[in-house]
Structure 1
């Protein structure tokens, strides 16, 4: 038995406030809302049995239009949330991110390491396989989480891959 998991990176969101902790309720920008609507036919074509999402608003808003079109609820799983980096948004965000990718076992302050995100992502993928055998699951989440999920599933990805990931983006894995 196998489960097809369709990973969707959220569409363009409102930018975080620099120097302040990120906001879990940060929504999609108007262009992101339009992009989420434009994804409906493409995501519905996968005929998912379930739609899961990170609890962060921007991820939910990206998959909700497809879920609504399919008559499915969006179920949030905390394990699908973005990397808890321990960093405050800054204009120089790429420097600490690049450092973390070069040293995936390193955690900034009380944040989680990228290795920990990979483990969390792998457990989430395995849970989907157990709960939705022989089905397709649509998953709304975030760039770093999705990249680490791809790694957990045995695919290759690195910092440049993550950094270049568009908003939205769609990837498939099978467990």
Structure 2
């Protein structure tokens, strides 16, 4: 029986500081916190047996209200973190990301390539299936991670769909 994985891209977060490394504790905005609360009834309807998340605060904060409503803890997995692009936040980030999507094997400095992120996402999906066979798992995540997880699950995602992804967004994949 397949495992159903409900990927939730985090709600609106405080923007990263331009020219400085992004930081894991970057939180949701007030609007993002309200959006996370508004997701509860929809996400509870999936009846997840576990709530997993990237360790980055904005992802945890997005699924925490649902976990609380279900009486579940949010368990963080480092492999669910956002793409470690090797790029500093900048005003021209969209151009740099588009280039990376066009060249997914390219790694910037010490960062990971999008191909490597797809492998990491695929391994995370497989781990979820191993640990929760036949169940539903709720996952707090990020836009680029979710896009590459969709690819790892055999679904379509590209730069345009990643760029257009709302905050928050919900995607379902099944794995066996």
**Is the pair's TM-score, using the shorter chain for normalization, greater than 0.5?**
yes
Pairwise CA RMSD? 0.4
1:47 lines up with 2:52 in the alignment = no
Answering whether residue 17 of structure 2 is matched by residue 17 of structure 1, we say: yes
1:67 and 2:67 aligned: yes
2:29 corresponds to: 29
Give SS of 2:140's match. strand
1:70-100 per-residue CA deviation (whole Å, 9 max, x = no partner) reads 0000000000000000010001101110110
> 1:20, 1:30 → 2: CA distance?
23
State the TM-score, normalized to the length of structure 2: 0.99
- Secondary structure of 2:51's partner? strand
Structure 2 SS opposite 1:133: coil
Structure 1 residue 154: Cα displacement: 0.2
The Cα shift of 1:35 comes to 0.1
Structure 2 gap segments, 5+ residues each: none
Unmatched 5+ stretches in structure 1 = none
What secondary structure, in the 3-state scheme, does the structure 1 residue paired with 2:128 have?
A: helix
Total equivalences in the alignment: 175
Q: How does 1:1-175 map to 2 (within 5 A)?
A: 1-175=1-175
- Quote the Cα distance in structure 2 between the aligned partners of 1:91 and 1:68: 37
SS in 1 for 2:20: coil
How much has 1:54 moved relative to structure 2?
A: 0.1
> 1 CA distance for matches of 2:86 and 2:130?
31
TM-score, normalised to structure 1's length? 0.99
Between the aligned partners of 1:159 and 1:16, the Cα distance in structure 2 is 20
What is the CA deviation profile of residues 94-151 of structure 1, one whole-angstrom value per residue up to 9, with x for unaligned ones? 1110110000000011100000000000000000000000100000010000000000
Mapped partners of 1:74, 1:42: distance in 2: 17
